[in-house]
A and B are shown apart, each in its own frame.
Chain A
Amino acid sequence: MQTAILILIPFIAALAQLFVPRKYGKRFAISASLLAFVVCLVTFIQFPVSGDYQYVTDVPWIASLGIHFKVGMDGISMLLVLLTTFLVPLIILSVVQSETRTPVFYSLILFMEMALIGVFVSLDGFLFYIFWELALIPIYFICLLWGGEHKVRVTLKFFIYTLAGSLFMLVALVYLYLHTASYTFEIGELYKAGRSLDAPTQGILFLFFFLAFGIKMPVFPLHTWQPDTYTEAPTQGTMLLSGIMLKMGIYGVIRWMLPMLPLALQQYGDYAMWLAVIGVIYASIIAITRSDIKRLIAYSSIAHVGLIAAGVFAGNAIGVQGGIIQMLSHGINVVGLFFIVDIIQRRTNTRKIGSLGGIRQQAPFFATAFIILTLGAVALPLTDGFVGEFLLINGIYIYKPAMAVVAGFTIILGAVYMLRTYQRTTLGETSVESEKFFDLTPNEKAVLIPLLILVIVIGIWPNIFLKVSEPAVTKLLSGN
């Protein structure tokens, strides 16, 4: 029941938002998303230690085709829903007063929240696909309506890219559906249907799913839409895309590919991992050469996600657990970092690293927040990034030590571009652009402080989260 409520709250709020007077738009959206977060937090605290789906709602939907509205959460879904409901209020809060945002903007964000939660809790293949696509529509309009200079071209590319991937996934899902015993999209039956197929067929389905999930993450070489879109999107759009939406891809791999296509994973998992690892190195090197901070963080996101993908495709419990915890940390870090970029841009009208410098003297609190997020991103021990990357590289090592060595470069390269960015912008001589930099406003503090707290909390007590997903991961990988 709680699962269905978690989908309904943002949905109803998104509709109600359209009738809220413009003046109260932001307050209403924050209240609604906070309500969802509270419900989710209560559910999380009560969540039983079990690998089964909890709080399942199962209603026949398109009865003639065996399609059900079936939602429920196991530990993996729970953590991702928690991340979504935690980040959305902060993303809404990050809108500053000077920017004019109509109620439609908040409505789209809430609509997106509904779709994202839906993706993470769907236990029916068709429903999963619908939510998957539903998440694309609001973000497209957020980017098209409030994006930067080249928004039209960039958003269309983004839309067509992701739609292409998902349509291939749809074909794969229908194929599996037609191989179930009683024509159903129920997830367990789809698992059975997938595992009963021979290796070559599984391989083709693997490719189709990989296209959908790989474009969403994005994995090298399917990433070309990502830097442009992240750069052109409004800050809230970038946060939604990088903080939550790319997790859809990784979640898809964990939920749909690992248990369903074991033979294909043995055969092609290697290629997928190499692509991911190449992406890590490739994106890190490009990030080092960028001078636009927003673009730099966009590329760093490709690198981080590449590592997560590699760990998840390794297909062992440590790698998958690392992937899950790293999804949380990456969501928190990257949303924080994009907000930092947004603050810099609003104060100085530039995102060029070269024109900045010495912000720390003007804004010590800002500098502290920036360094904590940076350290989280470079995976310093006792920050959230460390736990995830450690487990991921451990998981990759179990699969293939050589690959772990290559993937391990991400930590070194990550330190190069992140610390250098921090140093050039915040330390050193104060540049002309940075002179008028004032410290964080209460509104900005309210966004950053919860993020900073979590960077530390996950770093020190990762078990709060790991123990929730552990039984589910074990069950998933044992193939039941």
Chain B
Amino acid sequence: MITLIILSALGILTLFAQVLRFRKGLFPVILVGLAAAFYFTSADWNSNPQAWFSSMLDFNHYAIAFSRSIIIIAFLWFMMARNYFLQETSATDHFALVIFSLVGAVSMVSYNNLTMLFLGIEILSLSAYVLAASDKGNILSNEAGFKYFLMGSFATGFLLFGITLIYGVSGSFDLHVIQQSVGTHQQPTMVLIGILLLLVGLCFKASLVPFHFWAPDVYDGAPTPVTAYMATVVKTAAFGAFFRLFYTCFPDLVSQWSNVLWWIVVLTLFIANITAVRQNSVKRMLAYSSIAHAGYLAIAIVSMNGAASGRAILYYTLTYSISTITAFTVLYIVARNSGREDFGAFEGLAKTNPFLSFVIVVSMLSLAGIPPTAGFFGKYYIFQNAIATHNTGLVLLAVLAALIGVFYYFRVIIAVYFKPEQSNIPVAIGGLHQTVLFITTLLTILLGIFPDWVLQWI
């Protein structure tokens, strides 16, 4: 609970910073605030009571673990995005929006009531719509914001309709009441339709095929730091919410909804991976890669293996986000330097900046799932849970998809070591970017070797 209070206070403070002409010193305050939120969230571990506001929110260990993960990712993201936003006049507004969206993200992983889920998603999404359109002079950014808003509202409609139908059957928004009422007796069709609609709504948010059409354009059009935010924090929160709902409410009906999700996963894995191979823009490739990773994450939901699946999603979202922040930071630096976002912009990076080339290689290896990076263990753990629940066929398909993934991740690696046609200008990086890249790369390797550090959180 204290996480929400600290984050809200921090958001309001950030909003006032503009009025109080406090822009320069704001950034350290945000980092300190996030660190405090992290510390007090961890301290909440043994607190009593866990449930707040008539059980609207339940800060159980799952919620605390995901909140910590979200705060870590946000912390790294702020370090990455600071320079970009401080170049604009309205940096404080945007920072405030991000912090408020974190409030939504934390609600999404700690709700115990469907209305709270809806509120969390809306708080998160509304901020994200504005952020996507934050590059006001750029028509693509405007398009991204508008498209994201339209599609997102549409998805929320599905979600609300699903909530209504479930409420109609169980007479409650409370997850545990719903679980008892839908799990005990013969299922009316209304429940199944309700679950299906919830699934559609959440798949929109998590950008799973065939509900992914907004994602490439939005990711491509939004400013790179904002894209990084959507691919990391938003995705983590979406999957935190997704799993929490299906794990708490509908575990007894798993045979009913897992068939649908099975097909969604297979479509996502193959369509996203194959489309990513065909991209020429690295940013667009990363957008499709983010959809593909949503596919791997959804395997953990299909193969519902109790708390272990939740642990797998926690580990995967955290490590995937860390590697993705590395990738987007390097993309941002390279694109700013050369003015291009295609694979060619990365050529010769090994000569012009060995440090950047090393971190992008580690990040790509992690996203491709090659040991000893964290991306490997994330996939491994999800596959293990899937095999344990007799989904070996799905794992074999996912393995094939992962092999396709190697093609496009390695295109970046090959470009980095490729001699460019004309000699490039040396790429300079600021101290803050250097720090964030150092931390993310170190974490990618260390968490890959010692996954227990994260697995113990739940």
**Is A163 within 8 A of B403, CB to CB?**
yes
**Is A175 within 8 A of B392, CB to CB?**
yes
For the complex of A and B, list the 8 residue pairs with the smallest distance between their C-beta atoms, beginning with the closest. A133-B371, A167-B399, A130-B371, A174-B384, A174-B387, A64-B455, A62-B452, A178-B388
- Map CB proximity to A onto B323-351 as digits: 1 under 8 Å, 0 otherwise: 00000000000000000000000000000
**Interface hub of A136, A164, A174 (most chain B Cβ within 10 A):** A174
A170 vs B392: C-alpha distance in the bound complex, in angstroms?
Answer: 12
Find chain B residues with CB under 8 A from A163 CB.
370, 403, 406
Known contacts A64-B452, A171-B383, A178-B388, A160 near B403 by CB under 8 Å: yes
Q: Is A168 an interface residue (CB 8 A)?
A: yes
Task: Add 16 more A-B contacts to A64-B456, A156-B407 (CB < 8 A).
Answer: A62-B451, A62-B452, A62-B455, A64-B455, A133-B371, A133-B372, A134-B371, A137-B365, A137-B370, A160-B406, A163-B403, A167-B399, A167-B402, A171-B392, A171-B399, A177-B384
Find chain B residues with CB under 8 A from A129 CB.
371
Q: Is B396 an interface residue (CB 8 A)?
A: yes
Q: Is A159 an interface residue (CB 8 A)?
A: yes
Q: Which residue of A lies closest to B456 (CB)?
A: A64
The A interface, classified by DSSP as helix, strand, loop or mixed, is helix
Find chain A residues with CB under 8 A from B365 CB.
137
Q: Is B410 an interface residue (CB 8 A)?
A: yes
Q: Is A59 an interface residue (CB 8 A)?
A: no
**Is A159 within 8 A of B417, CB to CB?**
no
A163 vs B379: C-alpha distance in the bound complex, in angstroms?
Answer: 14
**A100-136, CB < 8 A from B:** 129-130, 133-134, 136
Q: Is B144 an interface residue (CB 8 A)?
A: no
**Is A170 within 8 A of B414, CB to CB?**
no
A29 vs B407: C-alpha distance in the bound complex, in angstroms?
Answer: 33
Q: Is A144 an interface residue (CB 8 A)?
A: yes
Known contacts A130-B372, A167-B399, A152 near B414 by CB under 8 Å: yes
- What is the number of residues of chain A that contact chain B, defined by CB distance less than 8 Å? 26
A134 vs B373: C-alpha distance in the bound complex, in angstroms?
Answer: 10
- Map CB proximity to A onto B391-427 as digits: 1 under 8 Å, 0 otherwise: 0100110010011001100100110011000000000
User: In the assembled complex, how far is the CB of residue A190 from the closest CB belonging to chain B, in whole angstroms?
Assistant: 14
Find chain A residues with CB under 8 A from B388 CB.
178
**Is A171 within 8 A of B414, CB to CB?**
no
**Is A170 within 8 A of B380, CB to CB?**
yes
Q: Is A45 an interface residue (CB 8 A)?
A: no
- Map CB proximity to A onto B430-458 as digits: 1 under 8 Å, 0 otherwise: 00000000000000000000111001100
Q: Is A145 an interface residue (CB 8 A)?
A: yes
- Map CB proximity to B onto A145-172 as digits: 1 under 8 Å, 0 otherwise: 1000000100010011001100110110
Q: Is A402 an interface residue (CB 8 A)?
A: no
Find chain B residues with CB under 8 A from A168 CB.
396, 399
Q: Is A63 an interface residue (CB 8 A)?
A: yes
**Is A170 within 8 A of B410, CB to CB?**
no
A63 vs B372: C-alpha distance in the bound complex, in angstroms?
Answer: 17
Find chain A residues with CB under 8 A from B371 CB.
129-130, 133-134
Known contacts A133-B371, A145-B417, A156-B414, A175 near B387 by CB under 8 Å: yes
**A12-61, CB < 8 A from B:** none
20 A-B residue pairings within 8 Å (CB atoms): A64-B452, A65-B384, A133-B376, A136-B370, A137-B365, A137-B370, A156-B406, A159-B410, A160-B403, A160-B407, A163-B406, A164-B399, A167-B403, A168-B399, A171-B383, A174-B384, A174-B387, A175-B387, A178-B384, A178-B387
User: In the assembled complex, how far is the CB of residue A67 from the closest CB belonging to chain B, in whole angstroms?
Assistant: 9
Find chain A residues with CB under 8 A from B450 CB.
62
A403 vs B406: C-alpha distance in the bound complex, in angstroms?
Answer: 39
**Is A134 within 8 A of B372, CB to CB?**
yes
User: In the assembled complex, how far is the CB of residue A272 from the closest CB belonging to chain B, in whole angstroms?
Assistant: 21
A163 vs B396: C-alpha distance in the bound complex, in angstroms?
Answer: 13
Q: Which residue of B lies closest to A129 (CB)?
A: B371
**B28-71, CB < 8 A from A:** none
Known contacts A63-B452, A137-B370, A178-B388, A171 near B396 by CB under 8 Å: yes
**Is B406 within 8 A of A170, CB to CB?**
no
A133 vs B366: C-alpha distance in the bound complex, in angstroms?
Answer: 13
A137 vs B410: C-alpha distance in the bound complex, in angstroms?
Answer: 12
Find chain A residues with CB under 8 A from B376 CB.
133
A160 vs B455: C-alpha distance in the bound complex, in angstroms?
Answer: 30
A106 vs B392: C-alpha distance in the bound complex, in angstroms?
Answer: 40
Find chain B residues with CB under 8 A from A167 CB.
399, 402-403
Find chain A residues with CB under 8 A from B402 CB.
167
A170 vs B379: C-alpha distance in the bound complex, in angstroms?
Answer: 11
A133 vs B365: C-alpha distance in the bound complex, in angstroms?
Answer: 12
A129 vs B377: C-alpha distance in the bound complex, in angstroms?
Answer: 12
A178 vs B395: C-alpha distance in the bound complex, in angstroms?
Answer: 15
A163 vs B370: C-alpha distance in the bound complex, in angstroms?
Answer: 9
